[in-house]
A and B are shown apart, each in its own frame.
Chain A
Amino acid sequence: MSEKLTVGISDWKICGSPDSLVTYALGSCVGICLYDKNSRIAGLAHIMLPDSTAITGGAATRAKFADTAIVDMIDAMKAKGANITALTAKIAGGAVMFQSASAQFNIGERNVEAVRKKLAELRIPIVAADTGCNYGRTVTFFADNGALEVNSASKGRSMI
């Protein structure tokens, strides 16, 4: 029997085959899925903010930020036996939920940019992405084969 583990907002989890990871209703947040296909170890992070170094308060929660969540999740995947030099990434979310002239509401775009930058720095290739636009996404990541299912209220279901 495979288990489906739920990842909350500002949280990450890892699992091995045949289990899967789900996170609900990514809006401006980004879901980062990392996978090592040989060990079939998967990780899913649901980050809210781009950069832990850019803010003054509340920075202790490392799972909240793209930069800190990614490195912590990689450490946990390594400890579980993943080959971290072989990791690939799939990302989803980072929508602009509200159209506004004010840059503070474009947090989705900034989140995607920060995730791409951190993954590039760690030399982890992004093999699939479904980001931006203006709608929320629920994603399920399968450790068995690294497939990512994306569901949205307006666009339905797709596999990337």
Chain B
Amino acid sequence: MAIKNFEDLGAMEIDVLTEVGNIGAGNAMTALSSMIGQMVDIEVPAVNILGFQEAIDYAGGPEKTVVGIIVPIKDDIEGEILFLLENDIVELVVSTFFGTSDIDLLNLSPDMTSALTELGNIMAASYVNAIAELTGMKIEVEIPMLSIDMLGAIMSVPAAQMGELSDKLLYIDNLMLIDKVSVKSKMMLLPTVESLDKLLRSLGVIA
């Protein structure tokens, strides 16, 4: 059996992807915790297969201002790690590194945006390294890119890339908890259909 569409995924495959997301995000959150000096927990991830508009609505709505960071991933798994950071995480990072939590997302200094880009880089690398170790696959992260704008405008970029192959997006999404309080910021993995097939094969879930 080969996965040719996101709709081909059955309950068992979804369970495996959930666990993959759990392991990747767990590693990324450990990296985040050590950078900000605060414990970040995650809840069990959700594997979402949604149409483009549904995905934007689910992530927080089109017009919400967020810090979007895309980290392209390549080699055995292709796709992106996408961060949609809101005030909660941005304030924590900025106060850790710059000693101020008085921020306006639309007026961050270049130093602040490069610190956030670097944070995205480290978290994405931690995420894919855990998956690479689990599966024996080779996965590399490419240079991260940052944009602060409306959520819908940011998500149009991964949507257009995945849209060449599919009418849906699959994303593995984790709810982050800081001091037991869930934050709105999101980190998600968006793999291509082809990569999912390879990933599930490498774990022996499909033959």
- With both beta carbons as reference points, the residue of chain A lying nearest to B168 in the complex is identified as A58
CB-contacts of B41-87 with A (<8 A): 52-53, 56, 62-63, 65, 68, 70, 72
A27 contacts chain B at the CB level, 8 A cutoff: yes
User: Secondary structure of the A side of the interface?
Assistant: loop
Interfacial chain B residues near A38, Cβ < 8 Å? none
Contacting residues of chain A (131-160) with chain B, CB-CB under 8 angstroms: 134-138, 152-154
Instruction: Please determine whether A136 and B152 come into contact, CB atoms closer than 8 angstroms.
Output: yes
Do the beta carbons of B156 and A58 come within 8 Å of each other?
A: no
Q: Which residues does chain B contribute within 8 Å of A10, judged by CB atoms?
A: 52-53, 163, 167
Which residues does chain B contribute within 8 Å of A26, judged by CB atoms? 152-153, 156
Closest to B144 in A: A98
> A57 is contacted by which of B53, B146, B165 (Cβ under 8 Å)?
B165
On chain B, the residues within 8 Å of A8 by CB distance are: 52-53
Using A49-B164, A61-B167 as known contacts, say yes or no to A28 and B157 having CB atoms under 8 A apart: yes
A136-B153 in contact (CB<8A): yes
**CB-contact partner of A137 in B56, B151, B153, B155, under 8 A:** B153
Q: List which A27-58 residues lie within 8 A (CB) of chain B.
A: 27-29, 48-49, 55-58
Please determine whether B145 and A24 come into contact, CB atoms closer than 8 angstroms: no
The docked-state distance in angstroms from the alpha carbon of A25 to that of B153 is: 5
B160: min CB distance to chain A, Å: 5
CB < 8 Å neighbour of B149 from A11, A111, A136: A136
Please determine whether B161 and A107 come into contact, CB atoms closer than 8 angstroms.
yes
Q: Does B166 contact A (CB under 8 A)?
A: yes
With a cutoff of 8 Å between Cβ atoms, the chain A residues found around residue B70 in the complex are 98
A residues less than 8 Å from B163 (CB atoms): 10, 48-49, 58, 64
A111 to B157 Cα, complex, angstroms = 12
Q: Does B52 contact A9, Cβ atoms closer than 8 Å? A: yes
B17 to chain A, nearest CB (A): 20
Is A104 an interface residue when CB atoms closer than 8 A count as contact?
Answer: yes
Enumerate the 9 nearest inter-chain pairs by beta-carbon distance, A residue then B residue, closest first. Answer: A136-B153, A25-B152, A27-B153, A27-B156, A24-B62, A98-B145, A25-B62, A8-B53, A25-B150
